Structure 1
Amino acid sequence: MPFRRLPDSVATSRAALETARQKYLATAAPQRLLTEAQFADHLDPATPAAGAPGSTLYRLIKEAGEATAALAAQTPVTRETEQARASLGLHISHFIQNLNNAILRGDLPSETRTLFQLPLEDERVPLLVTDADLLLWSDHIAAGENARALAGGEPLTWPSAARIAQLRDQLSQLIDTQSTAKDLTDAEQTDVQLLMPAVTAAIKDLWDTIEFNLRHEPDAPSLRRRAREWGVHYATRPGEAPDPDGPQEPDGPQEPAVS
């Protein structure tokens, strides 16, 4: 037996409300299955007067739009931060490899490694996985080159410590920017999730009213056919015969079926 399936996402919830709104507006007043109060409370997309909360549909559009905009603003910052991480990690790795090569050639003593907090006889590049790793080794390189300069040493190049310091500052700034953007996205998405119980309750109220006003239909399939025009969604369980006049989806949040 087909059962009502409530929307399970922001997109399907908005679609259910939009379908009910469109059907309400396209139906002559005497034949409408929803009241004017229900339209005002749940389906009116207009911006409310100052201080008024607005309809369920308006609030959903507003909150979802703000969450989408926040995520859109965060995405390029996240991409730029990832690129900055990769670039800094590559430069640090190349600097340490060049240092090891200079020691191997005999241009520098192995003790030089200790100026950079590297093990005396270990040629391995340290792990550069986290932001903390990248910032730490950038600082070690800056301190090591400063110590070498004070002792009269020539700066290492390709890459230079100055270039690594520049990339370090860039990454540090991007990490702060990304964190702020992510916090805003999280806050906006939280607002959407906090609204969803009220959205689901509104849809259930509308669907209950629609089915109640169609209770005199000659049979359940006829009721479901007309209810679908108002956005009510029905699904069938695996193995059940679907209604011939509507798309079906198995599973999902179940409510008592119309029998």
Structure 2
Amino acid sequence: MISVSEMAVSLNTISKIRGLLNRFRRLSEYYKDCFDNQSKASRKHQENTKLARLYISHFIQVLNLAALRMEIKPAQKNYYGLQPNVHNVPDLISETALMEWGEKIIVGEMKRTSEGGIPIYNPTIAKVKVRYDIFVESNERQKNLQRLTAESLEDVTLMRPQVDELILDAWNQIEDYYKDVPDVDKRLDLCREYGIVYYYRAGEKKD
């Protein structure tokens, strides 16, 4: 066991390293937990998003067909934010668009049926709303998880300069401590005992 007097790194530096290491490890582990939670929830969120998009898209298609067959008044499509003479499904690729159009068709269907209109079936607005609500809740949860991941990563990133500074300080102390060892290989081996790793650059040959 190396005695204190024989150590290549000062006790002050070692104390700083231990304190910083514990903090850095905790932050890194917390970031990993946040990232894992976000990744796991993301798979479920993608499924919820896919189903919501499917139900909303299908409802709009059925609504458009009903208007073409004059089962509902084309002008009533305005209740849903849809143009009477346009029969395409709006772009639902983004989650923002999905949230916007989901709310529009739910409000529109409630308004039309409250005026005595025949409800759209297959899917009913109740089924659409269930899928939409699940998507909205999932979307909010995913945003919160993303926020936690981003914040925890920032905490880790902010600590890196302190970590790098201490590593460099310890590195310099170790190399300075063994600088008078004449045998280069022996000197490098002694430094390696403290965890210093030397790499040769591309094309650089070992003497």
TM-score (norm 1): 0.71
The code of the aligned residue for 1:28 comes to I
Residue aligning to 1:153: 117
The code of the aligned residue for 1:102 comes to A
- The alignment partner of 1:235 has SS state of coil
The code of the aligned residue for 1:145 comes to E
Given candidates 201, 206, 217, the residue that maps to 2:165 is 201
Distance 1:119 1:91 in 2: 20
- The alignment partner of 2:118 has SS state of coil
Distance 2:26 2:110 in 1: 54
The code of the aligned residue for 1:33 comes to A
> CA offset at residue 135 of structure 1?
2.0
1:28 is aligned to 2:5: no
> CA offset at residue 35 of structure 1?
3.3
The code of the aligned residue for 2:37 comes to A
Using the aligned pairs only, state the percent identity. Answer: 27
The code of the aligned residue for 1:41 comes to K
Given candidates 133, 155, 164, the residue that maps to 1:169 is 133
For structure 2, list consecutive stretches of 5 or more residues without a partner in the other structure: none
The code of the aligned residue for 1:76 comes to K
Count of residue correspondences: 206
> CA offset at residue 177 of structure 1?
2.2
- Select between 203-212 and 101-110 the one with higher mean Cα deviation: 101-110
TM-score (norm 2): 0.86
Residue aligning to 1:142: 106
The code of the aligned residue for 1:36 comes to L
Distance 1:240 1:146 in 2: 74
For structure 1, list consecutive stretches of 5 or more residues without a partner in the other structure: 1-26, 45-54, 244-259
Q: Which has the higher contact order (CA 8 A, sep 6+)?
A: 1
Residue aligning to 1:222: 186
The structure where helix makes up a greater share of residues is 2
1:58 is aligned to 2:32: no
The code of the aligned residue for 1:184 comes to L
Tell me how large the CA RMSD over aligned residues is.
Answer: 2.2
The code of the aligned residue for 1:178 comes to Q
Distance 1:175 1:215 in 2: 58
- Select between 105-114 and 74-83 the one with higher mean Cα deviation: 105-114
Residue aligning to 1:38: 13
